Structure 1
């Protein structure tokens, strides 16, 4: 008689957990009439990975927080009715008092009438690439068998959870909304807007941001800026690696932070809050992994022959 190992039992439990969650989510969005092709792809992918073998399952164990994040963001419409009163003019006035732009404007309003095609291109590009940077680093960590793979994925989940909780407790209108509708009572029927990113679309003759923001279920999620958060997560994860990694990721984080303001999607205050949320999430995950006794990640380079610093 052979005995089952605890690892084997744990793998089976994980396989069935993923299968039930993926199938349940797919059935739910189909039942409520919100099924999109990406739902089917994501849900069927995680179920397939769970049963495809040890290596795919190892990837899924680390990347599972990414699927959970997608689930959180995609189901915002379920709880939007529970959020508190929407704040419209408060951030606008506080921003103008703390960070006044020429003419007594906020900086998003100033940049709305001071644009340049070069800035439109680079800011639009960074605003599109910010999410792919996270996924690219996660894949690099996985294929390099780097212990920071799981840490990055869990930090990504946590910073999004912090953002969504804040959206519930302090729903706030973005600058483009105030510039279009004013600081009065919130118009809950106002459609989402690509704001300044529409100039990037026009520059390239595409509709990327128009389609991206058309699917946004919550336009009153200015505070914090998760656009500013994601590149900070990446910079935090590579902070002990080569100077090229550190300088490159910090520079990209700074570009995205500027873009959030230049494109009228966020205030400086939102960016500061987004950076703070990213650091809080990263440090919390670091502490949790250190308590778990996870292997140290400082000594392993990202690329063959690369350096890393403790």
Structure 2
């Protein structure tokens, strides 16, 4: 930015307060009415290069009022524009408004400020005078051209990435059709991502950002390709006995697990409350990560999303190391291994009965592998929001995440989908992934990849 100072003896303090706002008003009024801006050829209004600034001072009586007035009213000294409409694009600028018409002529409304120059005048042994500072912005032409060609940017970006789009689409449908199995959900996800990539630059960046969660979906759907019970032996009775020993309670002289206690003593209010909490085990963490993406920084979002992905990877590995049956399996089938057991809503059946909605009945009927109780990823996801809750800088939100996590943990045990052991294992899974990601992100190569990815989103 360069500054040009014009000292004018006619601008005393009293009259400056009147004429400067009036000049600005008439300048804007002339622009709105259609007067075209032409710079006068007077030396006082000659354009200067942006690389340096020129200070011109005039003492009393050495210049006429037309020199300064021509500067203030230069936008009005032009013929009237024709009546036909022209396309004008506007771009906000810190020092005024930049306009561009079809002929690519640039008009810039100068931001004029009046300052009191008494101190400077005293140093120069001059009388009290007022001066006007005209701020001239630099290097706005490139931004203006980018703004003008913005309507072509989406088309150009689509044209440049069309091969990548075709390749990604081919691999996506190849995976789900011939390997993992495709459903209407997968088709809807693909269409949403494709439209988001095409529609605009912000949605394109968002589509690239959510690819982290798409990777999680690909891994989750791939679990049924190699069932975990074909890799390791199923743990049913031993997990039940350990749970009863560590967290069992005594009722009427009989030792039972908390799951068995809640089976006999369920409350309608808790049936509805725990059902609502359980339905938000994924939506709230993902919504919070999108909040970080929108209102904080892309790096905060990536830290959260990659920790989420790494939590799932750690959890999936444990699924294959320790395949375990949930509490409701023991209630229905005892300790015998039955490979054909379908999913079951367990305690959430009361939620469906009270609300009249078959949410959990429909959800768990599609669960292909019931021997994945350890660790409880239902308990892991909300804990990630607690680990990254401080990024919001809002204490109330951080406290809410803590309460939400405890509610999910209680719901998992109350609904008889997980033992307390499963919940604690899920919490440790999230903490392990959090620490592991912190260590990995410090590796220079991985950190450079994260930084490069953050620039894309």
| Common fold: TM-score over 0.5 | yes
Distance 2:213 2:429 in 1: 17
Match of 2:321 in 1: 169
Q: Does 1:38 align with 2:185?
A: yes
CA shift at 1:12, angstroms? 10
Pairing 1:214–2:362 present = no
Q: 2:247: which partner in 1? A: 99
Q: Provide closer, same or farther for how the CA distance between residues 221 and 16 of structure 1 changes in structure 2, counting only shifts above 3 A.
A: farther
User: Given the superposition, is the C-alpha separation of residues 233 and 14 from structure 1 closer, same or farther in structure 2, using an over 3 Å criterion?
Assistant: farther
Q: Answer yes or no: is the 8 Å Cα contact 2:234–2:371 preserved in 1.
A: yes
- Give the aligned partner of residue 301 of structure 1: none
Summarize the Cα distance change of 1:61–1:169 in structure 2 as closer, same or farther, 3 Å threshold: same
Q: SS state of the match for residue 130, structure 1? A: coil
Is 1:156 the equivalent of 2:288?
A: no
Give the superposition deviation at 1:83: 2.4
Q: Among residues 240, 252, 267, which one is paired with 2:419 in the alignment? A: 267
Unpaired runs of 5+ in structure 2?
1-157, 452-457
Report the CA distance shift for 1:77/1:58 in structure 2 as closer, same or farther (over 3 A): same
In the TM superposition, residue 47 of structure 1 has moved relative to its aligned partner by 3.9
Residue 349 of structure 2 corresponds to: 198
**Based on CA coordinates, which of the two structures has the bigger radius of gyration?**
2
Pick which of 238-247 and 11-20 moved more.
11-20
| Whole-angstrom CA distance in 2 between matches of 1:134 and 1:254 | 14
Equivalent residue, structure 2, for 1:62: 209
- State the Cα deviation string for residues 229-259 of structure 1 (Å, max 9, x = none): 0100111111353221121100100010011
Corresponding residue of 1:3: none
Secondary structure of 2:282's match? helix
Superposed CA offset, 1:97-131 (max 9, x none): 11112231111111111100111111111111111
Could you say which structure has the greater relative contact order, defined with CA pairs below 8 angstroms and 6 or more residues apart?
1
Q: Which moved more, 1:57-66 or 1:228-237?
A: 57-66
Moved segments of 4+, more than 6 Å: 11-15
- Give CA-to-partner distance per residue, 1:161-211, whole Å, 9 cap, x none: 111111111110000001110012x10100100111111111110011111
Q: How does 1:112-261 map to 2 (within 5 A)?
A: 112-146=263-297, 147-184=299-336, 186-239=337-390, 241-261=393-413
Q: Is the 1:120–1:197 contact (alpha carbons within 8 Å) kept by the matching residues of 2? A: yes
Cα separation, 1, equivalents of 2:159 and 2:428? 38
Shift of 1:60: 3.0
CA distance in 1 between counterparts of 2:162 and 2:437 reads 24
Structure 1 residue aligned with 2:174: 27
Tell whether the 8 Å contact from 2:285 to 2:382 is kept in structure 1 after alignment. yes
Does the CA-based 8 Å contact 2:376-2:425 persist in structure 1? yes
Partners of 1:138 and 1:226 lie apart in 2 by 17
CA spacing shift, 1:20–1:88, aligned 2, 3 Å: farther
Residues 120, 32 of structure 1: alpha-carbon distance in 2 compared, 3 angstrom cutoff:
same
Q: Distance in 2 between matches of 1:285 and 1:206?
A: 39
Comparing both structures, which one devotes a greater share of its residues to helix? 1
Query: Could you say what secondary structure the match of 1:220 adopts?
Result: coil
Deviation at 1:288, TM superposition (A): 3.2
Question: Counterparts of 1:18 and 1:182 in 2: how far apart (Å)?
Answer: 50
Instruction: Classify 1:261/1:12 alpha carbon distance in 2 versus 1 (closer, same or farther; 3 Å).
Output: farther
Greater fraction of residues in strand: 2
Structure 2: how far apart are the matches of 1:13 and 1:197? 50
Distance apart, 1:32 and its partner CA:
6.1
